[in-house]
Amino acid sequence: MCSRFLRFAGLVGLVLLVQRFWPLPSLFRGWESASIARLDDLCPQVEGLTPATHEALLQSLDQEFGSTEFKLKAYESLGGAVRIPTESYDDLGLPSEDPRWEIETKFHEYLESRFPKVHANLKRTKVNTYALVYEWKGSENVKPLLLAAHMDVVPVNPTTYDDWINPPYSGYYDGEWIWGRGSCDDKPGVIGSLTAIETLLERGFEPSRTVLLAFGIDEEAGGKVGAGAINKYIIETYGPDSIAMIVDEGGGYDDLGGTVFATPGVAEKGYMDIRMDVLTPGGHSSRPPKHTGIGILADLITELEVHPHEPELVRGRTYHQGLECRAKYDTSFPASMRKLVQQSQTSDAKLRELQDVLIDFDPMFYAMSGTTQAIDLVGGGVKVNALPEAVWAVANYRIVDHSSPAELTDRFIDITLPVAAKHNMTLDAFGKMVGSQGPSWGTIRLSDAFDSALVPAPVTPTTGSRPYELLSGTIRSTLETHLRTDGLPMTAVVSPGLMTEMKTLRHVCTDADTRFYWNLTKHIFRYGHRGGADGYNGAHTINEAIRGEGFLEQIRFFSRLILNADQSDLLE
């Protein structure tokens, strides 16, 4: 035994000696991690992009942007915009008929007065009466850069006025925050891009690439009146697939473990509202059936809620790409998860294991990697002693990016059909009779509540795509030269983000307008360049406010993007 051990030990020593002077092939080296993808291969980054031909102009702009005079003027430009309550309502009529649209005229006049050089040098077109498209004509025949934003805001509930630290339409700057509805969503997009262009015009800059500004008026109500009409105008004027890239509101950036992660939205979940109507015979409440229509509806809702959509981590999809970036660059990311992310590149078993871990690790995992379901509306019944003849509910769905409305409705029918059979009800599923067609006690009718079905957005190309490289380089150069005084790290990483009406990191990620722009370009980026700590209390709620320094960085981003797009060969 001892001699065999010594011979084995000698062999091991010989192997180690040979390895010391003559490394063995990689097949034998690192066998323990052979199934793990190289961390270096994950989440490739581009260098910060600075326009070489405009470098002196850029430095001069940053000097001006850092001055107190410029900051106060810019903050007041946003504050003045906030003071005009361009509220958007779900029941707005046509712009030519509903007087509530007229507040947009006042907003137009404000923009004219605040940005005189823009209105003297750019062609402005009013689309569908109140939406705006500005054209800054370039000298070269190349595809334009389009910067999009929306001028409307969600209404403020009058009962909450007293809960605001500063009045909701004050536009007050208190030395740190600019207060009021729209200060985050999305008047910084409007005022920030106009401020950038006004400043460039003051410097005598003339673009070689045309820059378009597209400002919607009803993004908070679906975007059809504004962005829908803007799409038609651009198609008629420039044609389909005529835009080099589009940047609209969306993701932002956050400090994670000493590295700033920026997450431009490159994918967007689909959408659908499904209405459930339960129609039953009426009658007196003193002689009720075993289950009233409300009881049947409750049974249906219960079945939906006990069969939620399960999340699925899909290799190569946007959420998984974001994990790759965190595994590589986020020093606070757990080592065990970093290894799982690496292994999940090639192992389905490790991909499932990573999914199981994410359920507890990331509170956003369910919402980001699966179709979400929320029963939000319910109604029915007219009197306490009368059996309800018609009751209804509406379920809201945000469809995961690898699914579809058709897949959702098929699943919905599968869950509903047993409930209909249980209560001897006919099932009218989206206009088609399903299941037993014999005599029944009533009808369950399923329908698209508001003609709302929307497939998930086409995924914007990322790694290896030149427009993505342009955007990434611009984001990194803006972050790595920021003028903030709050200690934000200069080290920056750009990671693909998934858009949905929720918070990613700390950014409200929602954009109803870009769905109308899919035929203009495949390079659509939903990115607002705002820090996670730059919103006082988020959007769509009380005490909406933006940090002044955060808004200043948005202006810097727009300026750099315009200059980079102007001289770069990364765009068509």
Q: Do the domain assignments include residue 35?
A: no
Annotated binding residue at 248?
yes
Q: What is the pLDDT of residue 543?
A: 97
Decide: 529 and 554 in contact? Cβ < 8 Å. Answer: yes
CATH number of 344's domain = 3.30.70.360
Which is more confidently placed, 11 or 362? 362
Q: Do the domain assignments include residue 501?
A: no
Which is more confidently placed, 438 or 157? 157
Decide: 512 and 485 in contact? Cβ < 8 Å. Answer: no
Task: For residues 452 and 75, give the distance between their C-alpha atoms in angstroms, rounded to a whole number.
Answer: 37
For 208, 231, 297, 512, 519, the CA distances from 216, given in Å and listed in that order, are 26, 10, 39, 10, 17
Confidence at 566, pLDDT banded by 50, 70, 90: very high
- 417, 448, 479 - which closes a domain: 448
Same domain, 249 and 278: no
Same domain, 231 and 304: no
Q: What are the pLDDT digits (tens) for 134-167?
A: 999 999 999 999 999 999 999 999 999 999 999 9
Same domain, 320 and 202: no
Mean of pLDDT values over 164-174: 98
The model carries a pTM of: 0.89
Q: What is the pLDDT of residue 38?
A: 77
Count of structural domains, the chain: 2
Annotated binding residue at 255?
no
Same domain, 324 and 358: yes
- 412, 430, 448 - which closes a domain: 448
- 423, 448, 473 - which closes a domain: 448
Q: Would you name the residues annotated as active-site residues?
A: 152, 219
Q: What are the pLDDT digits (tens) for 206-228?
A: 999 999 999 999 999 999 999 99
Res. 391: pLDDT tops 90: yes
Least confident piece of the model among 6-20, 82-96, 423-437: 6-20
Least confident piece of the model among 25-39, 40-54, 280-294, 423-437: 25-39
Annotated binding residue at 410?
no
Domain that holds residue 356: 270-448
Annotated binding residue at 185?
yes
Q: Which residue has the tokens 């946007």?
A: 318
Res. 187: pLDDT tops 70: yes
Same domain, 215 and 276: no
CATH number of 169's domain = 3.40.630.10
Q: What is the pLDDT of residue 436?
A: 77
Res. 3: pLDDT tops 60: no
Sorted by sequence, the CB contacts under 8 Å of residue 40 that are 6+ apart come out as none
Mean of pLDDT values over 407-424: 97
Same domain, 86 and 148: yes
Q: Do the domain assignments include residue 168?
A: yes
Same domain, 278 and 234: no
Same domain, 66 and 135: yes
Instruction: Find the helix or strand (DSSP H, E) in which 355 lies.
Output: helix 348-361
Sorted by sequence, the CB contacts under 8 Å of residue 321 that are 6+ apart come out as 43, 462, 495, 496
Q: Do the domain assignments include residue 137?
A: yes
Q: Do the domain assignments include residue 396?
A: yes
Helix (H, G, I), strand (E, B) or coil at 392: strand
Res. 328: pLDDT tops 70: yes
Mark residue 219 as left, alpha or beta (left: phi above 0; alpha: psi -120 to 50; beta: remaining): alpha
DSSP letter for 514, please.
Answer: G
Task: For residues 304 and 297, give the distance between their C-alpha atoms in angstroms, rounded to a whole number.
Answer: 11
Task: For residues 532 and 571, give the distance between their C-alpha atoms in angstroms, rounded to a whole number.
Answer: 29
Q: Do the domain assignments include residue 79?
A: yes
Task: For residues 117 and 189, give the distance between their C-alpha atoms in angstroms, rounded to a whole number.
Answer: 18
Same domain, 62 and 135: yes
Annotated binding residue at 291?
no
Residues 300-313, buried b or exposed e (16+ Cβ, 10 A)? bbeebeeeebebbb
How deeply is 188 buried, as exposed, middle or buried, from its count of CB atoms within 10 A (0-12, 13-18, 19+)? buried
Same domain, 439 and 529: no
Q: What are the pLDDT digits (tens) for 111-128?
A: 999 999 999 999 999 999
Q: Do the domain assignments include residue 16?
A: no
Res. 452: pLDDT tops 70: yes
Task: For residues 341 and 564, give the distance between their C-alpha atoms in angstroms, rounded to a whole number.
Answer: 34
Res. 13: pLDDT tops 60: no
Instruction: Find the helix or strand (DSSP H, E) in which 373 lies.
Output: strand 372-380
Same domain, 288 and 415: yes
SS3 content of the chain, % helix, strand, coil (to 5): 40, 20, 40
Residue 435 CB-half CA count within 13 A: 22
Q: Do the domain assignments include residue 310?
A: yes
Mean of pLDDT values over 366-388: 94
Same domain, 521 and 399: no
Sorted by sequence, the CB contacts under 8 Å of residue 397 that are 6+ apart come out as 271, 272, 273, 274, 371, 372, 373, 408
CA angle 92, 96, 101 (to 5 degrees): 45
Mean of pLDDT values over 166-187: 98
Confidence at 538, pLDDT banded by 50, 70, 90: confident
Decide: 201 and 118 in contact? Cβ < 8 Å. Answer: yes
